[in-house]
């Protein structure tokens, strides 16, 4: 009898400990998931008595804030700067930064203190504010340069992964999402609710030659001197590959083939190194693995495998196969080259600050992957410089009035200086219309401070993307 009582005692003790463990797990570990779960009824009731935190750019320019009205709070957004697709909205669901950082914007720091002071001041209890990595001046430069064109611009600091600007067109107005909802959800051709920077998947076109170059150099560093004579076309398997408009580039080595974007050279070198090597390099750069970014995004896709035929390999080598990338991923690739082969994890939240101005959280840059050796990255950097100085990317060449940092605290400028830009152009074939054009780049080439990816839908084989990138880089270098 006593034995069975003891048994029951231990059973209850065990159950009780399990209960405590479970409650601790919910409070300490899972609470964020419960709060973020859209099925949580407390979310909407919470939003009514809490003033949602403000969203600022990195320097304190207000991008989104809440104002109290008779019926609760109204969310107001900055209209200049093409922010809507990145900041998102909080009505009819949530998207963008509003969704990704809902937890921070609704979290109340020093709640007791705030509740007590609210009794006297009648001011609402306020959620934490967030400061993004985006610089409003660079964002506005990107929006102005894009000038309503269908496409996207993303700018990043190569050695940290900080997103400096992210613009996408066609877009919407976060201030009038409810009124415009039917139009926004029914317009399939323009898909204005899609953030093209992170969710738009496009063939990379010749920008992919960055990856093929890395693969060729890692297979054998002497491949830089591999010589080939381009006649403007060549047969690979059952496909005839052509250079742009059948132009014959003549005898060339890798640097010139890269700068002139010679398709037959790159298809030939891909045939030499084989699909397994190209596949391995693409995987190193992050294809087919999660990008790990807080806003809704797509994973870059690379479809080659060991069984792929020669025509598939040659098409993939020049970016025309089944490979698909986002502008965000492309700026990560350019940044990794700029950063000696080290790819940084992209981030957009710089810091969280409570309603008393005290910093609660600060993002530390993280290495995402080492995509190639520093030697290979420096060679690609050199090839990208050749592309802008005497190849297909000359539209990105520019001068900038750099601030003189040797004179502290003053705004003395050292006059217009030529900036060496490293870049790569691309034209992505589009079966349903005019081709898309790409440009990825970074500057200054020897001390990269900014990388930019530009995608223009249906803009054909022009140099508009290069001018847009140059505007964004110039703006940033002149304020930094």
Chain residues binding Zn ion by CB under 5 A are 230, 243, 249, 262, 264
Query: Whole-angstrom Cα distance, residue 89 to residue 213?
Result: 41
Phi-psi region of 63 (alpha: psi -120 to 50; beta: other; left: phi over 0): alpha
194 burial level (CB within 10 Å; 0-12, 13-18, 19+): middle
- Sorted by sequence, the CB contacts under 8 Å of residue 310 that are 6+ apart come out as 236, 237, 271
User: What is the closest distance, in whole angstroms, from the C-beta atom of residue 224 to Zn ion in the complex?
Assistant: 17
Please report which residue ranges of 432-463 form alpha helices under DSSP H: none
- Is residue 82 a contact partner of residue 143, using CB atoms and an 8 Å limit? yes
Shortest spacing between CB 461 and Zn ion, in angstroms? 15
Tokens 């990145």 correspond to: 86
Residue closer to Zn ion by CB (options 247, 413) is: 247
- Min dist. Cβ of residue 147 to Zn ion (A): 33
CB of 252 to Zn ion, least distance (A): 8
Asked if 210 contacts 380 with a C-beta cutoff of 8 angstroms, the reply is: yes
As measured in angstroms, the least distance from the Cβ of 427 to Zn ion is: 14
Instruction: Classify residue 345 by its DSSP letter.
Output: P
Torsion of CA 109, 115, 117, 118, to 10 degrees: 110
Angle between helices 374-390 and 209-219 (to 10 degrees): 140
Which pairs with CB-CB distance under 8 Å and at least 24 residues apart come from 58-62? Answer: 58/131, 58/132, 58/133, 58/134, 58/135, 58/350, 59/135, 59/136, 60/131, 61/136
What's the min distance (Å) between Cβ of 319 and Zn ion?
15
The answer to whether the beta carbons of residues 165 and 134 sit under 8 Å apart is yes
Q: Indicate the residue among 256 and 326 with the shorter CB distance to Zn ion.
A: 256
Helices and strands (DSSP H and E) totals, the chain: 18, 21
CB of 234 to Zn ion, least distance (A): 9
Residue 234 CA, distance from chain mean position: 36
Closer of 66 and 264 to Zn ion (Cβ): 264
User: Residue 174 in contact with residue 84, Cβ under 8 Å?
Assistant: yes
Question: Does a cis peptide bond (omega within 30 degrees of 0) precede residue 170?
Answer: yes
Least separation in angstroms between CB 187 and Zn ion: 40
Nearer to Zn ion, 163 or 318 (CB): 318
Smaller CB separation from Zn ion, 92 or 231? 231
In the bound state with Zn ion, the residue whose beta carbon lies nearer, of 127 and 391, is 391
In the complex with Zn ion, the residue whose CB is nearer, 249 or 297, is: 249
Q: Closer to Zn ion by CB, 189 or 245: give it.
A: 245
**Min separation Cβ 260 and Zn ion, Å:** 7
Give the whole-angstrom CA distance, residue 174 versus residue 345: 27
In whole angstroms, how close is the CB of 431 to Zn ion at the nearest point? 23
Question: What angle, 0 to 180 degrees and rounded to 10, lies between the N-to-C axes of helices 310-317 and 275-285?
Answer: 40
Backbone angles phi, psi at 339, to 5 degrees: -100, 35
Hunting for tokens 């530390």 — which residue is that?
364
Least separation, in Å, of the C-beta of 272 and Zn ion?
Answer: 16
Q: Rounded to the nearest whole angstrom, what is the least distance from the CB of residue 320 to Zn ion in the complex?
A: 14
In the bound state with Zn ion, the residue whose beta carbon lies nearer, of 73 and 208, is 208
By beta-carbon proximity to Zn ion, the closer residue of 241 and 473 is 241
Nearer to Zn ion, 231 or 288 (CB): 231
Closest CA to 166 of 455, 361, 381, 427: 455
Residue 277, φ and ψ in degrees, nearest 5: -70, -40
């Amino acid at each position: 009898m006593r034995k069975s009582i003891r048994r029951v005692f231990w059973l209850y003790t065990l159950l009780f400990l399990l209960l405590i463990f479970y409650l601790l797990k919910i409070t300490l570990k899972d609470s964020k998931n419960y709060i973020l779960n859209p099925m949580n009824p407390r979310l909407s009731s919470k939003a009514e008595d809490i003033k949602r935190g403000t969203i600022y750019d990195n320097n304190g320019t207000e991008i989104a804030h809440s104002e109290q009205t008779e019926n609760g709070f109204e969310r107001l957004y900055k209209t200049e700067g093409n922010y809507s697709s990145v900041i998102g909205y909080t009505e009819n669901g949530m998207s963008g930064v509003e969704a990704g950082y809902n937890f921070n914007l609704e979290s109340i720091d020093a709640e007791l203190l705030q509740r007590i002071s609210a009794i006297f001041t009648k001011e609402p209890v306020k959620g934490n504010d967030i400061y993004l990595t985006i610089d409003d001046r660079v964002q506005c430069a990107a929006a102005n340069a894009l000038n309503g064109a269908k496409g996207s611009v993303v700018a990043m600091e190569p050695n940290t992964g900080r997103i400096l600007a992210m613009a996408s067109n066609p877009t919407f107005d976060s201030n009038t999402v409810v009124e415009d909802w039917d139009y926004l959800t029914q317009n399939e051709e323009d898909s204005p609710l899609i953030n093209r920077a992170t969710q738009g998947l496009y063939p990379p076109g010749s920008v992919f030659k960055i990856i093929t170059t890395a693969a060729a150099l890692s297979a054998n560093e002497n491949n830089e001197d591999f010589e080939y004579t381009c006649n403007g076309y060549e047969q690979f398997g059952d496909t005839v590959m052509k250079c742009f408009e059948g132009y014959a580039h003549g005898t060339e080595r890798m640097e010139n083939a890269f700068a002139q974007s010679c398709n037959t050279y790159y298809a030939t070198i891909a045939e030499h190194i084989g699909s397994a090597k190209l596949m391995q390099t693409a995987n190193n750069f992050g294809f087919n693995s999660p990008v790990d970014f807080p806003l809704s995004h797509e994973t870059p896709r690379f479809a080659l495998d060991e069984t792929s035929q020669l025509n598939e390999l040659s098409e993939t080598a020049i970016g025309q196969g089944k490979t698909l990338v986002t502008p965000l991923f492309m700026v990560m690739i350019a940044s990794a080259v700029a950063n000696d082969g080290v790819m940084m994890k992209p981030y957009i939240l710089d810091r969280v600050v409570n309603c008393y101005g005290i910093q609660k959280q600060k993002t530390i840059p993280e290495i995402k992957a080492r995509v190639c050796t520093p030697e290979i990255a420096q060679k690609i950097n050199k090839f990208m410089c050749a592309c802008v100085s005497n190849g297909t990317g000359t539209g990105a060449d520019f001068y900038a009035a750099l601030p003189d940092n040797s004179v502290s605290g003053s705004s003395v400028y050292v006059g217009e200086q030529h900036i060496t830009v490293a870049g790569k152009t691309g034209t992505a074939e589009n079966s349903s219309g005019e081709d898309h054009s790409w440009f990825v780049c970074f500057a200054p080439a020897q001390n990269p401070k900014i990388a930019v990816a530009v995608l223009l839908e249906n803009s054909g084989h022009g140099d508009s993307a290069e001018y847009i990138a140059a505007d964004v880089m110039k703006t940033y270098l002149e304020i930094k």
